[in-house]
Chains A and B, each alone.
Chain A
Amino acid sequence: MQARAFRRPAAALLAVAFAVLPATGAQAADSARTSGTGGSGSTTSHPSDPLVWGKLLYEEGCASCHGLQGQGIAPSPAIKDSGAAAVDFEVSTGRMPLGTIANQALRRAHSLYTAEETQAMAQYVATLGNGPAIPTQQVQGWENADMALGGQVFRTNCAQCHSFSGQGGALTWGKQAPNLMKATPTQIYEAMLVGPNNMPKFSDQTLPPAEKRAVIKYIEFLRQPDNPGGLDLGRLGPVSEGLFGWFGGFGILVAIAIWIGVKAK
């Protein structure tokens, strides 16, 4: 009994330590990022001029691959004419700075930069050449866009790669068209405008802003479609359903056939 009494406070202390540790760790990481000792590497009190700040961030985080003038250092592409829209898309989705070596830059769960840092970098890159601005104005009002038109435009121009349900799909040599379910309206608009990676560009002249907003409206609908319930199996259609049918359904049929064939005792 006595030994138990001694152990208890120690156990409690341990439990508290384990509970607090991750929290303080996260806090430390958070403060490191915002204070600039972390990956983004800005100074503790950043310059008030966003262009100066953006230049600093660019030189620290981007220039080693894309060059000081955005001219690109092979095999990294030139980005001087990519514009603020491309920077906002690539950085806010966490695709840049490049993470693991893969066939293409992949989306991160969280961007490595804060929204303000991203804005500053985007503004700075916009000064390097001619590229589209962040389409903040054009995205406005997508909630009231024509969803039926959006569906038609999506199925004609987007579905071939991103699939009818926006779940993404395979391209050549291990590349892929990403799932659209996590993209924000601005990111969707930016992707159509700048054509990140292997995605073709859909200019505002051939696919006017009203149609782009309609596409956004349709993608937003795809996230919360009318749902009859049940196992959606990723909504991939015949592939996952077939797999389920073959392994699940046939397994049951084989088990029943064996039961029928076994001699009764």
Chain B
Amino acid sequence: MTQDHPAIDPSRPQAAEVAHEWRAADLDPVAERRAERQVAGLFGAATLLILASVLIYGFTDYNATVGVPLLGDVNVINVFMGLTFGLGVFCIGAGAIHWAKKLMPDVEVVEDRHPLTSDEEARAAFAETFAAGVADSGILKRGILRRSLLGAMALFPLPLIVLLRDLGPAPTHGQLNHTIWRAGTRLVTDVTYLPIKAADVPVGGLVNAVPENLPQVEEQDGTLNARAKSVIIVVRLNERDIIAQQGGTPSAPWDYQGILAYSKVCTHVGCPISLYEQRTHHLLCPCHQSTFDLADAGKVVFGPAARNMPQLPITVDAEGYLIARSDFQQPVGPSFWERA
């Protein structure tokens, strides 16, 4: 096939001859001038609006406000510079479209499709040129050049791959499995870092807590990683309402007289959660509505989370302050590949 013979698919319906509909501006010089004026008017309006926005910026007090119906008190520069500039840009676009629709030719044009391959002659000529180039370069004859070039090109992406290492550091072994909680670490209130006396937590009470050494660890690390893993919530239930816990023995339970400590990090994708309903003992995650029953070993009762909320074993020290009995017995937060 050559370019003179368009690729016509005989099975496809052919374009019917449609009578061209002439527009008012094509036939009537008055309508044509009107359309011209409209387009010029839009462009002119754009000019004025854009100038106005500059003037508003230049001559308005930065803090000036004005009352606008529906919007209330608004900053003059925010609203009016935005309005004038936005409308100005809109007028440029509207003018261009109006111009194209009313005045530019709109006669129907048929453009047939042609085969995408070049003709035989051109393809043969290209093959000939390519072969001549290969022969001239001597790449087949000079093996050492060919092989050394291949080697250089194969290694060229290597530095880019090496740089990917800087996306790390990858968590070292066990970093995701442990927090800074240790046996004997006191529970302190978040924000104010006050130790918590067991007697001061009422039934139905909630304390957002962190380990007492968190401020020092954060200072040392310069990151919030330790906080992100070690935040807990402390709640107190009537002991008879506790159905189950994640560990402990009757003589050494993980709670202290109904005071339970649970991780604050959702096991789904790690949102911090402390939406605690003291009557239902439910803990609700605001991100995806995972709901955990803190009276029943932190069991998932609703939502996409797959694992129980990890419980922190606690007791009290000689002075009656709440302390951890150990680190968490399972990794906190969302699942990860290497999680056992």
Contacts and interface: CB of A to CB of B under 8 A. Distances in A.
Interface in A200-228: 200-203, 205-207, 211, 227-228
Prevailing SS type, chain B contact patch: mixed
B69 to A, nearest CB: 11
B191 A229 contact: no
Interface in A134-175: 149, 152-153, 156-157, 160-161, 169, 171-172, 175
Interface in B267-298: 272-280, 282, 284, 286, 289, 291
B79 to A, nearest CB: 7
A177 B206 CA distance: 15
A265 interface: yes
Contacts of A181: none
Given A198-B279, A206-B189, A160 B205 contact: no
Nearest to B97: A260
B206 A201 contact: yes
Given A172-B282, A229-B72, A231-B71, A200 B65 contact: no
Contact of A228 (B78, B190, B201, B282): B78
Contacts of A153: 191-192
A229 B67 CA distance: 9
A205 B65 CA distance: 45
A129 interface: no
A231 B70 contact: yes
Interface residues of A, number: 35
A264 interface: yes
A160 B208 CA distance: 11
Given A152-B191, A172-B284, A206-B200, A195 B106 contact: no
A200 to B, nearest CB: 3
A27 interface: no
A207 B201 CA distance: 10
B103 to A, nearest CB: 9
Given A160-B274, A198-B277, A203 B200 contact: yes
A142 B23 CA distance: 74
B117 to A, nearest CB: 35
A197 interface: yes
B246 interface: no
Contacts of B102: 264
Given A171-B284, A230-B71, A197 B206 contact: no
A73 interface: no
Given A156-B190, A172-B291, A205-B197, A200 B206 contact: yes
Contact of A200 (B70, B106, B192, B235): B235
Contacts of A243: none
Contacts of B203: 201
A199 interface: yes
B284 A203 contact: no
Looking at A202, A264, A265, the one whose CB has the most chain B CB atoms below 10 A away is A264
Contacts of B205: 195, 200-203, 206
Given A172-B284, A230-B79, A157 B277 contact: no
Given A149-B191, A195-B278, A203-B200, 19 more contacts: A153-B192, A156-B190, A157-B190, A157-B206, A160-B275, A172-B277, A172-B282, A195-B204, A200-B278, A203-B201, A205-B200, A206-B207, A228-B74, A229-B71, A229-B74, A229-B79, A230-B72, A231-B71, A264-B25
Interface of B: 21, 23-25, 65, 70-75, 78-79, 97, 101-102, 106, 189-192, 194, 196-197, 199-208, 235, 272-280, 282, 284, 286, 289, 291, 302
